[in-house]
Structure 1
Amino acid sequence: MASEGGPRGLPRATFAKLSPHPYLLANLEPSDEGTAPARSNGRAPRAARPPTVNNSSLTHANGSSLVRCGDTTVICGVRAETILTSDIPNFRPSNRKTELKDYDLLVPNLELATGCSPQFLPGQPPTTLAQTLSTRVYSLLHASKLVSPDDLRICGGLAKYQAAQGSVGPRLGEDRLFSDDPVPLTINGMPIASTAAIFTGKDTDRPSDGKFWLLLDPDRLEESLCDEAITVVVDKSGGETKILSITKHGEKRWDEFRSAIEESP
């Protein structure tokens, strides 16, 4: 770990704010060989923040959960609405396995509120980050087949409907039937995302000999100091570990190219 004081006896917290990159490097590569590498937040390079989960935390939603990892808190609510096939524009009988995506029946909405970070101001339109994360959640919901289309169908009076149509197989009809005994929605799996970032010792007065560190579950400050990050979504609820999604981040590299283009004559 870095010493209690930085240059000229600065407190550790002040040194970390003034020189975050050298401070993190000093913790990951301590001068004392008997000291194990650690991060500014005290965690080992490959240690993640332990999660806590509290289900049914919202009363106005059909389902909800509050998840906390360190100082990061996420609240998720799920609401279900009914819609008739006659109210779906250009509805046509299609492959039932693709109905959810064909008619956008799963709609994730992600909001980064003011309390998330000082960069999110009240009264502002949705940020690019919020829209990007919503798109990733949308893709993951369909790629993982987390929800079955059949579980979202509400059909009633099938015998009367089929007799009128002259059919014998189950079909999606306009008739609806609601039960006093609701059935919980079946979730096909449990996808979990893990993020890792690459930290190097460049751009500092202290040489690192080309070394780099893999930081698991980086916090906001660590993400700003790292060049690359990757998020992997896995699911092992069926016994076998399946990789559902891999997202690679390189925002700093993108910024470098954008600056080069803008500065080009």
Structure 2
Amino acid sequence: MASTATAPAPQPIPPSLSLPPSQFARLQPHAYLLAHLSPPASSQQPSIRANGRSPSQFRVTSANTGSLTHTNGSAVVRLGDTTAVCGVKAEILHTEDIASWSVSHSSSSSFASNKRRKLTNPTAKLGEDRTDSGDNESHIEDFSLLVPNLSLSTGCAPGLIPGAPPSALAQSMSHQILSLLHTSRLVRAEDLQIWYERPNFGPEEPEHHNESEQMDVDVEQEGSDEASIQTGEIKAFWVLYIDIMIISLAGNPFDAAWTAVLAALRDTKLPRAWWDVDNETVVCSDIVSEARKLSLWGLPIASSFGVFEADAAAGWRSVTIQDAEEERKLAEGDRKGIQRRWVLADPDGYEEGLSQERVCLVVDKPQGGDGKVFIVKMEKNGGFAVDRKELKELVDISTRRWEDINQILKQC
């Protein structure tokens, strides 16, 4: 009989000692990001973030306005995978419904001065008018004429479950947006005021017999015109309810939400409204062409940054005397050219969990300001790594970011 040879059993493949990048990112997130930002010198690879961006690069931003037809203004802003939807709804608030309203709040003298300023200097810059309208601007904050509310949509992030109460992040961001609206004085109080101007039929023109009498009459007419201007009275205000919903959360929600608020306010139109004496109520025109847009003060743009440190425990150390040695090592590393920290612009959700210190800058470049940059807000919390020199660099990055967002909003 012929003998048959049996094939040898296949040898098992030894398991690989390396981990896929996705598992490495979940198991060792700090080491994974550090490996991208600080590659070995022998590899000759540039310092780049895990998402492929440079430290000062923002995610792709897009904006669209007018998406919601049942609002006075709306916008959808997408910042990478973070998406914010904003809708502005205007309602009328009568002064008789304001408990703190009094005759002094009607500010007829302020109304007259504004009228005279516009008549005598119709080409005045917006910035000049803004500095002179402090009394009127207080109406917005005193009577809560701007009411922002931010909510996180169910499913926008893994931790948000249906039926959960408003998170601390949503409440905090609502307060930040309200504070920034008041600080920047973005909305003009004059746009939200509904006035009633009593009709001025004027005095009968007398007969004049000589030049001296004519001059006296001219003086009286000037006084009568000023008195007629002072007959104006505020009867109601527009209240703007600004609702923001984050439908997709992938890091840096404040920049997306604030940009959506800016785009929605630029898109907001208020109908022509007047006081009806016969019915003692405010009447609005239903003619679309008579609606007017808000004339906003400037365009404050927010830019957020996160600070990533090479030492994973740097953010958790207590501020004690023992930290002096660590600070000495950091300073020595800086002198040798060894980078120990990175300031990451527009951090995504992965980077936010690894950043202990955060910086938010809001800058504006008003028209006619000769290229000057105004810092509307500067907020830094969570650490003390960013110094004055780095803050100046962040202002320059925020200025370039302002140019980009300005071009995006102009195309809406």
TM normalised by structure 1 equals: 0.83
Note if contact 2:196-2:233 (Cα within 8 Å) is conserved in structure 1: no
- Counterpart residue type for residue 44 of structure 1: S
Task: Supply the AA of the counterpart residue of 1:171.
Answer: E
Q: 2:79 aligns with which of 69, 73, 77?
A: 69
- Residue type of the partner of 2:45? T
CA distance in 2, matches of 1:77, 1:85: 25
Give the total of aligned pairs.
238
Q: How many percent identity over aligned positions?
A: 41
Q: Which has the higher contact order (CA 8 A, sep 6+)?
A: 2
Are 1:178 and 2:218 counterparts? no
Structure 2 distance, partners of 1:105, 1:232, is 25
Code of the residue aligned with 1:215 in structure 2: it is L
Match of 1:59 in 2: 69
Deviations 1:154-197 (A, max 9, x none): 2245327xxxxx86413213633433311111111111111111
2:28 aligned residue: 19
State how far apart, in whole Å, the 2-side matches of 1:89 and 1:130 are: 30
Correspondence for 2:356: 227
Q: Answer yes or no: is the 8 Å Cα contact 1:156–1:177 preserved in 2.
A: no
The answer to whether the aligner puts 1:80 opposite 2:90 as a matched pair is yes
Does 1:250 find its partner at 2:382? yes
More helix by share: 2
Q: Deviations over 1:62-120 (max 9, x none)?
A: 10111111111011111100111001122123332200000111011011112321122
Amino acid at match of 2:17: R
Per the alignment, do residues 149 and 38 of structure 1 end up closer, same or farther by CA in structure 2, a change over 3 Å counting? Answer: same
Residue in 2 that maps onto 1:39: 49
Task: Determine the structure 1 residue equivalent to 2:149.
Answer: 109
Contact 1:232/1:245 (8 A) holds in 2: yes
User: When you count strand as a share of all residues, which structure comes out higher?
Assistant: 2
Amino acid across the alignment from 1:58? L
Relative distance call for 1:249 and 1:122 in structure 2 (3 A) is: farther
Shift, 1:245, TM fit? 1.1
Contact 1:158 1:173 in 2 (8 A): no
Instruction: Give the gaps of 5 or more residues in structure 1.
Output: 1-6, 161-165, 252-265
1:197 to 276, 282, 306: 306
- Contact persistence 2:310–2:341 (CA under 8 A): yes
Q: Distance in 1 between matches of 2:302 and 2:152?
A: 18
Shift of 1:15: 1.1
| Distance in 2 between residues matched to 1:182 and 1:50, nearest whole Å | 33
- The two structures, once aligned, show a CA RMSD in angstroms of 2.3
In the alignment, structure 2 segments of 5+ residues that lack a partner are 1-15, 106-134, 201-226, 237-274, 276-281, 314-328, 334-338, 384-412
For 1:218 and 1:15, the matched residues in 2 are separated by 20
How far apart are residue 244 of structure 1 and its match? 0.9
Name 2:114's counterpart in structure 1. Answer: none
Task: Tell me the secondary structure at the aligned position of residue 79 of structure 1.
Answer: strand
Q: Partners of 1:61 and 1:123 in 2: how far apart?
A: 26
Deviates more, 1:31-40 or 1:14-23: 31-40
Q: Counterpart amino acid of 1:16? A: A
User: Are 2:296 and 1:187 equivalent residues in the alignment?
Assistant: yes
**Equivalents in 2 of 1:171, 1:132: separation in Å?**
37
SS at match of 1:115: coil
